[in-house]
Chains A and B, each alone.
Chain A
Amino acid sequence: MFEAGNLLRQRVDDLATRLVMGETDVTLWSTLLGNVREQAEAGGEAEVARLAAQAIDKLPSAAAGVASFEVLFSADILALQKAAAGESAPVTAPAPGPVKAPPVALGEDPEMIADFILESREHLHQVEIQMMTLEKDPGDMEAINTVFRGFHTIKGLAGFLDFADIREVAHETETLLDLARNQEVRITSRIVDLVLAAADFLKVWLTRLEAQLAGGDPGPAPETALLLERLKQGATPGESAVAAPATPAVTTAPVVNTAPAASASSVKVDTSKLDALVDMAGEMVIAQAMVRHHPELAALQSPALLRSLAQLARITGEVQKTAMSMRMVPVAGLFQKMNRLVRDLGRKTGKQAEMEAFGAETELDRNVVEELADPLMHMVRNAMDHGLEPPEERRAAGKDPQGRVRLKASHQAGHIVIEIADDGRGLVREKILAKARRTGLVEDGEHLSDHDVFNYIFHPGFSTAAQVTDVSGRGVGMDVVKRQIQKLRGRIDIESQPGQGTSFFLRLPLTLAMIDGLVVGVGQERYVLPIFSVHEVLQPKAEMIFTVEGRQEMAMVRESLLPVVRLYRRLGVAPCSEEAAECLLVVAEAGDQRFCLMVDKLIGKQEVVIKSLGEQLRDTPGVAGGAILGDGRVSLILDLDRIYRLGTA
């Protein structure tokens, strides 16, 4: 009975968090409120059931946009929270106050506000890290002090700039933390939730301020009154003592090695300046090579001159490398986000999980890190929801009831590999196969390797999840993850053992700005092929090439028949030779298709900086960008997937 009551309360708290966070998905609300009502009815909590039903009745008007969710629900949810916590519902719910989104008066000095946003964000980032530590070790005074200082500073600045909502929330959080600091309130998961909710609230505000500074629409303001009420409740010592859950659902390890990175001094630089620096460094390397290999200089045969030129080459190379490395950031920030996600999901799904992070100091291009957030989040969510079993099931299987989600970043042969592993139930081959048969992806009797079978989870609309939960199994699937990874020119692999867990390996380039290229010649032109999609290059014999239906050519390569694409035809240039035996075949893989590209010659392998072809030529089919080769001339980087499909369309 107690268990049920606790779960009910958690669900109601979850509702409150979502309200504060501005969740507006009507279907989701309806499901969540429905769950609460059913559970309350089953548990004999008539008042909670009544309030939930009342909230459900209001959904249509929220959906129609008559009023915002905050206005409609804040009173109901507050009452629900009180009812669920065993208090009698107030006769009149406290008036939430009209929640409008008035543009905040930004005062005279936008620069000061920009500074405020920047500084507050840094504090909030620290708050998140420290709260994770505190949840594990509630007695860590240093962590409490850091969090306290963060909110205190934000409060002070917000007061100065006259942002009332921010100041009040920061103030109440500070009060709560002060009690914790004086050991009048124990830091429980509930308190951690509250502080994080406050941090999220402040983040929403900062984003709004930023939008307004940029002259945009700040969007709706998050609900303040409800959060303040929750914070005040949390600060009541008696209340929180009761609320201490029987077992902390999740412990999370702090991300390894973040501290040194944070303490290093750094400068913020406009990315366009960085790009210009990279452009210029590249040009310097080319100009340097032109001077160095100039025939008139070579004719001088002066050892001193050669030494100086070699020195110049080394330095310019170093400058270029340094310029490129300035775009790199450690993945620690990204891992930190996942740490928070694992914690939140653990609380939500009632699973016990620990996140371990390795190699957080590994550096990646800023753009890659940003683009990686979504797919990573999706995979961590999957691991928590589908991968890890509930504690009872794990115990029954003889495993530690506390599951593990492991994130590991490492360098491998010029790439970075990010592993997302869980020690849950693993992928069930039969289940995936059954689903694949039902949807017609596989014929009966076909024999498939584990690798092939597991890859079916990347097909659009493929989900074996028995039930759709609000955590995952809704909307975006693994196909989207795969597409996002491919967009980053990366690859995704799966390893899984039934009962042991599943690991996903993301293999990504270090940067989107450069690419390892294979330079090939077709007629008078040179083209760069991305090396990650090239398998091998071979000199064909005439008998390897077959013609199907008099048109489509196929080549027999290692006992598989691959379509042949004559590159000169696709690109409309005159080749050196049309005779297959005088050409080279590049076996490439793009999309899910393996094929042979016929080119005239192989010029070399080279790392090139990817340049945009500019606004007008950006969408040229088959061309991914331009590269400036050693002689200063531009060569096109080909998009092999598009090149292949140009022929089939």
Chain B
Amino acid sequence: MSIATIEKMPTALSGDARAGKYLTFVLGREEFAIRVIKVREIMKIQDITAVPQTPGYVKGVINLRGKVIPVVDLRLKFGLAELEYTPRTCIIVVQMQGEGVTVQTGLVVDEVSEVLSLAANEIENTPDFGEGAGAAYLLGMAKVKGKVKILLDIDQVLNSQELGGVDALIRK
């Protein structure tokens, strides 16, 4: 099954739709995963030019081979404590389909781990934390070798303003 067809299938309840290749990365003590097809490239942390009058999680802009793209600190986006950048800090450049144009955004994460192939039977639905159904940006949870990875719908993450709930997951 090609990746393109996976993308077109409903992401709702079927475990099959969520199966596929994921890039995993670390924020704090948790591991997250986003679809590899969304990832354009990964780069070491570099100087970011701050932009005034923007939400705190927007760290600023960088030069990606002649194009200026915004950079979002995923820690701050999820309401986690700010952490000083280290040599392991990475920027994952993801691309999304905007209105007629491809929009690229950089995501600052603590550390990039690996690319994983997730089978349908490894993926479970997000548990209910008493706030109704799991937030829209959470695709589900995957258990690999006894460790839990949180699957993110990165489009939803970047399109929504307030992102509570992740800390609840992490505190658990």
> Which residues of A pack against B, CB within 8 Å?
279-280, 282-283, 525, 570-573, 611-617, 620-623, 625-626, 628, 632-636
Instruction: Give the Cβ gap from A603 to chain B, nearest Cβ, in Å.
Output: 14
A634 and B68: CB pair below 8 A?
yes
When distances are taken between beta carbons in the complex, the residues of chain B under 8 Å from A572 are 52
Can you report 24 residue pairs joining A to B where beta carbons are below 8 Å apart? Answer: A279-B65, A279-B66, A282-B66, A525-B49, A572-B52, A612-B68, A613-B51, A614-B61, A614-B70, A615-B101, A615-B103, A616-B70, A616-B103, A616-B105, A620-B54, A621-B53, A623-B53, A628-B63, A633-B47, A633-B63, A634-B49, A634-B60, A634-B61, A636-B49
Instruction: Give the Cβ gap from A649 to chain B, nearest Cβ, in Å.
Output: 12
Number of A-B contacts (CB under 8 A): 73
Assembly CA distance A525 to B69 (angstroms): 18
Asked whether any CB of chain A lies closer than 8 Å to the CB of B62, the reply is: yes
Interface string of B85-129 (1 = CB under 8 A from A): 000000000000010010111000000000000000000000000
> Which residues of B pack against A, CB within 8 Å?
47, 49-54, 58, 60-63, 65-70, 98, 101, 103-105
Instruction: Give the Cβ gap from B26 to chain A, nearest Cβ, in Å.
Output: 25
A614 and B50: CB pair below 8 A?
no
Assembly CA distance A372 to B137 (angstroms): 45
- Select from chain A the residue with minimum beta-carbon distance to B99: A615
A633 and B54: CB pair below 8 A?
no
Assembly CA distance A461 to B47 (angstroms): 49
Assembly CA distance A600 to B51 (angstroms): 18
When distances are taken between beta carbons in the complex, the residues of chain B under 8 Å from A525 are 49-50
When distances are taken between beta carbons in the complex, the residues of chain A under 8 Å from B51 are 613, 617, 620, 623, 636
With A616-B105, A617-B61, A628-B63 as contacts: A611 and B50 at CB distance below 8 Å: no
B67 and A611: CB pair below 8 A?
yes
Assembly CA distance A615 to B54 (angstroms): 13
A615 and B49: CB pair below 8 A?
no
When distances are taken between beta carbons in the complex, the residues of chain B under 8 Å from A570 are 52
Assembly CA distance A573 to B103 (angstroms): 28
Assembly CA distance A383 to B133 (angstroms): 67
Q: Looking at the complex, which one of A573, A617, A628, A633 makes contact with B70 (CB distance below 8 Å)?
A: A617
Residue with the greatest number of chain A CB neighbours at <10 A, chosen from B50, B66, B101: B66
Assembly CA distance A570 to B52 (angstroms): 8
B66 and A614: CB pair below 8 A?
no
- Select from chain B the residue with minimum beta-carbon distance to A279: B66
Assembly CA distance A242 to B93 (angstroms): 74
Assembly CA distance A614 to B62 (angstroms): 11
Assembly CA distance A525 to B52 (angstroms): 11
A628 and B52: CB pair below 8 A?
no
- Select from chain B the residue with minimum beta-carbon distance to A628: B63
When distances are taken between beta carbons in the complex, the residues of chain A under 8 Å from B103 are 614-616
B68 and A626: CB pair below 8 A?
yes
When distances are taken between beta carbons in the complex, the residues of chain A under 8 Å from B104 are 614
When distances are taken between beta carbons in the complex, the residues of chain B under 8 Å from A628 are 63, 66, 68
Assembly CA distance A636 to B50 (angstroms): 9
Known: A283-B66, A616-B105, A621-B53. 14 other contacts (CB 8 A): A279-B65, A279-B66, A572-B52, A573-B50, A614-B68, A614-B70, A614-B103, A616-B70, A623-B51, A623-B53, A625-B68, A626-B49, A633-B63, A634-B61
Residue with the greatest number of chain B CB neighbours at <10 A, chosen from A572, A616, A622: A616
B50 and A632: CB pair below 8 A?
no
A613 and B61: CB pair below 8 A?
yes
- Select from chain B the residue with minimum beta-carbon distance to A610: B68
- Select from chain B the residue with minimum beta-carbon distance to A616: B70
Instruction: Give the Cβ gap from B100 to chain A, nearest Cβ, in Å.
Output: 11
With A620-B51, A623-B52, A633-B49 as contacts: A611 and B98 at CB distance below 8 Å: no
When distances are taken between beta carbons in the complex, the residues of chain A under 8 Å from B65 are 279-280, 283
When distances are taken between beta carbons in the complex, the residues of chain A under 8 Å from B101 are 615
When distances are taken between beta carbons in the complex, the residues of chain A under 8 Å from B68 are 611-614, 625-626, 628, 634
Instruction: Give the Cβ gap from A320 to chain B, nearest Cβ, in Å.
Output: 11
A617 and B58: CB pair below 8 A?
yes
Assembly CA distance A83 to B66 (angstroms): 67
With A280-B66, A626-B68, A632-B63 as contacts: A571 and B54 at CB distance below 8 Å: no
Q: Looking at the complex, which one of A279, A282, A622 makes contact with B52 (CB distance below 8 Å)?
A: A622
Assembly CA distance A572 to B52 (angstroms): 7
Instruction: Give the Cβ gap from B96 to chain A, nearest Cβ, in Å.
Output: 10
When distances are taken between beta carbons in the complex, the residues of chain B under 8 Å from A633 are 47, 49, 63
B67 and A279: CB pair below 8 A?
yes
Assembly CA distance A447 to B148 (angstroms): 79
Assembly CA distance A79 to B14 (angstroms): 71
When distances are taken between beta carbons in the complex, the residues of chain A under 8 Å from B49 are 525, 626, 633-636
Assembly CA distance A536 to B80 (angstroms): 46
When distances are taken between beta carbons in the complex, the residues of chain B under 8 Å from A279 are 65-67
Assembly CA distance A623 to B70 (angstroms): 14
- Select from chain B the residue with minimum beta-carbon distance to A633: B47
B52 and A626: CB pair below 8 A?
no
B50 and A622: CB pair below 8 A?
no
B52 and A620: CB pair below 8 A?
yes
Top 10 A-B residue pairs of the complex, sorted by shortest distance between their CB atoms: A279-B66, A626-B68, A283-B66, A634-B49, A611-B68, A571-B52, A634-B61, A628-B63, A634-B63, A617-B70
Instruction: Give the Cβ gap from B129 to chain A, nearest Cβ, in Å.
Output: 29
B52 and A613: CB pair below 8 A?
no
Residue with the greatest number of chain B CB neighbours at <10 A, chosen from A625, A633, A634: A634
Instruction: Give the Cβ gap from A605 to chain B, nearest Cβ, in Å.
Output: 20
When distances are taken between beta carbons in the complex, the residues of chain B under 8 Å from A620 are 51-54
- Select from chain A the residue with minimum beta-carbon distance to B49: A634
- Select from chain B the residue with minimum beta-carbon distance to A634: B49
When distances are taken between beta carbons in the complex, the residues of chain A under 8 Å from B105 are 614, 616
- Select from chain B the residue with minimum beta-carbon distance to A272: B101
B69 and A614: CB pair below 8 A?
yes
Assembly CA distance A623 to B103 (angstroms): 19
- Select from chain A the residue with minimum beta-carbon distance to B104: A614
When distances are taken between beta carbons in the complex, the residues of chain A under 8 Å from B61 are 613-614, 617, 626, 634, 636
Assembly CA distance A410 to B53 (angstroms): 40
When distances are taken between beta carbons in the complex, the residues of chain A under 8 Å from B62 are 634
Instruction: Give the Cβ gap from A401 to chain B, nearest Cβ, in Å.
Output: 54
Assembly CA distance A570 to B63 (angstroms): 24
Assembly CA distance A634 to B51 (angstroms): 10
When distances are taken between beta carbons in the complex, the residues of chain B under 8 Å from A280 are 65-66
- Select from chain B the residue with minimum beta-carbon distance to A609: B66
